[in-house]
Amino acid sequence: MLQFCVITLLVVGSVFTSSTLKYSVRYIDQPLDHFNKATYGYRTYKERYLLNDDYYRAGGPIFIYCGNEGNILDFWDNSGFIFTLAEEFNALIVFGEHRYFGKSLPFGLASFQNPQIGLLTIDQVLADYANLIAYLKSKYGNDDTKVIAFGGSYGAILAAFFRFKYPNIVTGSLAASAPVSIADNKTAQESFWPIITEDYGSVNPKSVTKIESAFKQLDYLSKIPNGYQTISETFHLCDNITNAAGYKHLLLYIRNAFTTLAMYDYPMVTNFSLPLPAWPVNVTADMMLKADTPIDGLFQVTTVVYAPTSSKNQNSCYNLSALFVECCDPTGCGLGNAALGWDYLCCNQLALATGSYSNTSMFPNLPFTTEDKKEYCQKRWNITPEPHWYALEFFGSDVFVSSNIIFSNGLLDPWHGGGILKADPNNPSIKIVLIPEAAHHLDLRPISPSDPPGLVKAHEKEIRYIQEFLNSK
């Protein structure tokens, strides 16, 4: 008999309908701290989750999406392939919201203050999901009900870790774009910016030359009288750059735009983190080539990312401090409370990309070393990152000691350099799926007529592998 703590289920409101599939919003009471009762005792918080049982049949599996660093509704609306699978396998669908994100705030707005934020750990999150599954098994199935965990990006890391840590609960996982090897692989840690450069180079090598030229021109302007003013006017900034710190912030803001474009380089128009055209890398590479000057091209590229976010157009100003916040993650933390949560996770446990260098990418030298991260995290959160412990606790690259995990990676995705890209013949239950024409966890999105051939084949493999997991004893 599975053991789990007593939890309370609340159904809030009626059934909702998204652009993909209807869901009901529910909450369970989760322990504030699953592991230490001395501090918070048996106090609980309400974790939100989404549920759909349209396809569920008695004896069917539970499919759980491991919510990442954001509002769980956003992941529901952009993970339609899971619904296709649920129909195929008569599965119950549940999307668990990550503690400290969306509406799952253990201490309300005080959640992001010390010491309350200390309960934001991967260990606590996985325990939340394990508790949720135990409850759903008692309601919809039994101890033997099969469970497949899904996730994209950080959610994919969680889906893999969920199988690592709770193999008694999780039958298998589909981890789409999980950069787990960054934990202990220096090459993986340094691969992010060179891969974005390769993405643009594969569209048109001349676009890389233009981008490099633009950054060189910015560097020149930053060193001459009135140069900061010229740069500020070119990028339509609300407040002029006046010093080196402001100029560096602009460079990070520009680099972050390329991060977004490369990660969501999808073959269809999307509105995941923001509205983007189909194949945005192609679109912006073409912008660079057609611009009057390289710097004008760079500005036009940034408007693709920041204009929808800020409701501005090219005749309006852009507020750098509001549109991009420097943080522990060189690829960007986003904005608002979600950014605070991600920043803390990055400092406390996660290993992510490092800085960029002009000799390995089209980007300027913007280093972010281990020492830089340590200094930042001590100053911001009063904690010291322990990268070696993260790799030790969560396996790092040594995933083949586990079983029944699909690691899928799109080769356009700048995170794929941190993924598991090669199979081990000694452990065929760890499945590797590579998708040449795909960017960040494209394989979890709803099936579309725009899907490239490699994605269609990837879906066929993933269905076959999940069937294999469900058939395993």
Does residue 181 carry a catalytic annotation? no
pLDDT above 70 (res 310): no
Does residue 29 carry a catalytic annotation? no
pLDDT above 70 (res 236): yes
Which residue intervals of 394-452 are DSSP H helices?
none
66 beta partners: 96
pLDDT above 60 (res 346): yes
DSSP state of 101: B
Least confident of 133-147, 291-305, 414-428: 133-147
Confidence of residue 7 (pLDDT cuts 50, 70, 90): very low
Give 102's contacts (C-beta < 8 A, 6+ positions apart).
48, 67, 70, 71, 72, 73
Position 10 scores a pLDDT of: 36
Confidence of residue 335 (pLDDT cuts 50, 70, 90): confident
Q: 10 Å Cβ neighbour count for 454?
A: 18
Given a contact cutoff of 8 angstroms between Cβ atoms, the answer to whether 159 and 178 are in contact is: yes
3-state helix, strand, coil split of the chain in percent (to 5) is 45, 15, 40
pLDDT in tens, 266-308: 999 988 778 999 999 999 999 999 999 999 999 999 999 998 6
**Bridge-based pairing state of the strands 405-410 and 172-176:** parallel
Q: Of the residues 79, 104, 111, 153, which is catalytic?
A: 153
Q: 10 Å Cβ neighbour count for 144?
A: 7
Position 16 scores a pLDDT of: 40
Return d(Cα 17, Cα 32) in angstroms, integer.
31
Q: Of the residues 33, 128, 199, 413, which is catalytic?
A: 413
Position 1 scores a pLDDT of: 32
% of the chain surpassing 90 pLDDT? 88
Give 37's contacts (C-beta < 8 A, 6+ positions apart).
none
The pLDDT mean for the chain works out to: 93
pLDDT above 50 (res 6): no
Position 20 scores a pLDDT of: 64
Position 2 scores a pLDDT of: 37
Position 316 scores a pLDDT of: 80
Q: Of the residues 440, 441, 451, 459, which is catalytic?
A: 440
Q: Which amino acid is at 80?
A: G
pLDDT above 60 (res 3): no
Confidence of residue 11 (pLDDT cuts 50, 70, 90): very low
Position 334 scores a pLDDT of: 84
- Over range 405-419, report the average pLDDT: 98
Q: Which helix or strand (DSSP H or E) is residue 206 part of?
A: helix 205-221
Position 308 scores a pLDDT of: 62
Given a contact cutoff of 8 angstroms between Cβ atoms, the answer to whether 383 and 346 are in contact is: no
Position 274 scores a pLDDT of: 85
Position 125 scores a pLDDT of: 98
Does residue 53 carry a catalytic annotation? no
